[in-house]
Amino acid sequence: MASQLQRDSILHITEINKRINRYRDLDSLLNHVLREARQLTAADAGSIYLVRDNHLSFEYVQNDSLSGPEHSPSFSYQHQTIEMDHSSIAGHVAMTRRALIIDDVYNLPKGVPYSFNPSFDRMTNYRTRSVLTVPLMNSRDRVMGIMQIINPRDRSARQAEFNRDDEAIVSYFANLAEVAIEKALLTREIILRMIKMSELRDPSETALHVNRVGAYSVEIYHRWAWDHGIDDNEIQRTRDLLRIAAMLHDVGKIGISDSILKKHGQLTGAEFRRVKLHTVYGARLFTDITSDWDEMAAQIALTHHERWDGKGYPGVIANLADPPRRLGPGLQGESIPLFGRIVALADVYDALISERSYKPSWKEGDILEHIRSERGGQFDPSLVDAFFAVYPVIQSIHKKYGNR
């Protein structure tokens, strides 16, 4: 029979579930799911792994003891995988499909098949102790991930241990969250398949590139919003919309002919003018605006090549269905939508740091000097400041998604 604490928590979780189902972006959803699970148990930290290629892939981490409130810490973008076997705590839970409470990971019971990996603790000087690990199952009753909640606190904020009430509450919450996670995974797959279509036309438009640009964009935005006193609820809602919208910034290239996109050597003036139209073609895909996301995606597709100094493109487009042959003059300053300005910076950084068939990657120091020199030229000065404020996170994102 459920305890009073469990009954109260179930009612609270039902309300949480309504909020969870509003999220579209996988990363935003995982962030919210993990935060809510930690709040249910007053836990200091936690992480989520998803099953990818028969391994557990580290996807998200939170740690109140190590994080500042203004933006994501660099360890949020670790690239780590764990074998799907009994050798680790997460792997063991994935294999048994049963929740597991450990009071002290540094003093495991004798005879258990799993061990604790202390590398994160050593890297950050953190001390993991009590851990609650639960499986995340999909609608076909298969394990799609693992959630770990770490180091609960009692009412006096002293370190405590997880109990069976915690296990029941978090397991129930996980059952509800799994539906939202599965939907978000499907959305991410659809987006990446659209990107693969673009990649057939433009080899530089890869899934890794768009994942990086999306992640850079939300972190630059988060710091900018923090600096401008934006409410945290609004920041989280915008992050959810921005990442997916930013990933589709160049989807309009599907409307540019292969003879131009795959040309070896320099484009002619006429060819480059044709390439510029990808901004218009991309915006056309979102003209039937039914949500804030459609509006943001259209803005980004249309304006991510505008410049703060007005020397970008395409400028004012009176009719997306029939754009002028010559684009411009460009929009200037704050007449460029904020999210177009953000993706402009994220996209240029990734283009410079990435190797392409037509160019080598730039040296990191040269890239940073270029961005500094274009503060107030190509880029919004406040966004350049936000970029450098979160640069360790930007580096972690680039490392996670690779240099391709």
User: Residues 246, 391, 294, CA angle at the centre, nearest 5°?
Assistant: 15
Range(s) of the chain covered by CATH 3.30.450.40: 4-183
Its CATH architecture, for the domain 202-401, is: Orthogonal Bundle (1.10)
Q: Which residues contact 170 (CB under 8 A, 6 or more apart)?
A: 37, 40, 41, 99, 132, 134, 147, 149
The identity of residue 109, as a single letter, is: P
Q: Please state whether beta strands 100-102 and 81-83 pair in parallel, antiparallel, or not at all (unpaired).
A: unpaired
Range(s) of the chain covered by CATH 1.10.3210.10: 202-401
Distance from C-alpha of 231 to C-alpha of 193, rounded to nearest angstrom: 34
pTM: 0.81
Residue-level pLDDT at 68 = 62
Tell me the pLDDT of the chain (404 aa) as tens digits: 555 655 666 667 767 777 777 787 888 888 889 998 999 999 999 999 999 888 999 888 888 888 764 456 566 676 788 999 999 999 999 999 999 999 999 999 999 999 999 988 998 889 999 999 999 998 888 999 999 999 999 887 788 999 998 999 999 889 888 888 888 888 888 887 877 776 666 666 677 888 899 999 999 999 999 999 999 889 988 998 999 999 999 989 888 887 888 777 788 888 888 999 999 999 999 987 778 889 999 999 999 999 999 999 999 998 888 888 788 899 999 999 999 999 999 999 999 998 776 678 899 999 999 999 999 999 999 999 999 999 999 998 998 887 54
Residue-level pLDDT at 120 = 87
**Fold (topology level) of 4-183:** Beta-Lactamase (3.30.450)
Percent of residues in the chain assigned helix, strand, coil, to nearest 5: 50, 10, 35
